Amino acid sequence: MVLQEEAIEALVAKYVSNNMVLSFGTSPESIRFAKKLALKIEEEEIDVKVVPTNSKIAQILNDLDIKTTTINDREIDLAIEFVDLVDKEFNFIERESGSFVRDKMIAQSAAELVIITETKNYGNPLKGIIPFEVCSFGWKRTLLQLEKLGITKARERNGKMFKTETGHYVIDVNVDEIYSLEDLEFQAKDIPGVLETGLFIGYADRVLLHKFSEKEKDIIML
């Protein structure tokens, strides 16, 4: 997904206000969002704090002199996530994350969760790759148990097991068809070792659809 500068500026202008606590996920769009946010804070002299979702975002916020906080100190007013797949009930799959445990906590804390995806990824039944954050202890056993849900593969980076920022591993499960999102979530978390999933049920409040072409560069709001 590639959001144009105008679309990111529109997001910051529409949704960010004074005395707000924000959070946004890790993606190229999030990094550009942070830069536009820094400009708005400086130009309008507003007080905005951000709960960083990972160390990379935390470093960027520090470099941009944007104040940070945690959900121990403040609940989140607005969270923004750039996601892979969204159904008509606004349930969604997030596949890239520094920690799905952390992202679920942020989603629950947020008074409003806005998710952004491409128009082609909206409205279809959820299926395909679903990531599961699992305990590193006995992870191979957990992988075998997750095979009842679909084809499993441990996530790697540069030939090594990918480790989340909360110190866990990620197992990707390719699910052909999901008959019940709630049942899938229950079955997964009933497995000892499964800590969290990339399946978000009932968290999103608003969906922004993005379609890019030379003639159409805006985001369409539902």
Residue 57 sits at φ, ψ, to 5 deg, of -65, -40
Q: Are residues 149 and 63 in the same domain?
A: no
pLDDT in tens, 12-53: 999 999 999 999 877 777 888 899 999 999 999 999 999 998
pTM as predicted = 0.88
CATH number of the domain where residue 44 is located: 3.40.50.1360
State the pLDDT at residue 30. 83
Q: Are residues 174 and 114 in the same domain?
A: no
CATH number of the domain where residue 173 is located: 3.30.70.260
Q: Are residues 10 and 95 in the same domain?
A: yes
CB–CB of 64/36 below 8 Å? Answer: no
Task: Please give the residue range of the domain that contains residue 183.
Answer: 128-197
Order of strands across the sheet with 92-93?
85-86, 92-93, 199-200
pLDDT in tens, 124-154: 899 999 999 999 999 999 999 999 999 999 9
State both tokens at 139.
Answer: 């992870």
pLDDT in tens, 153-173: 999 999 999 999 999 999 999
Of 18, 28, 177, 7, the C-alpha closest to 96 is: 28
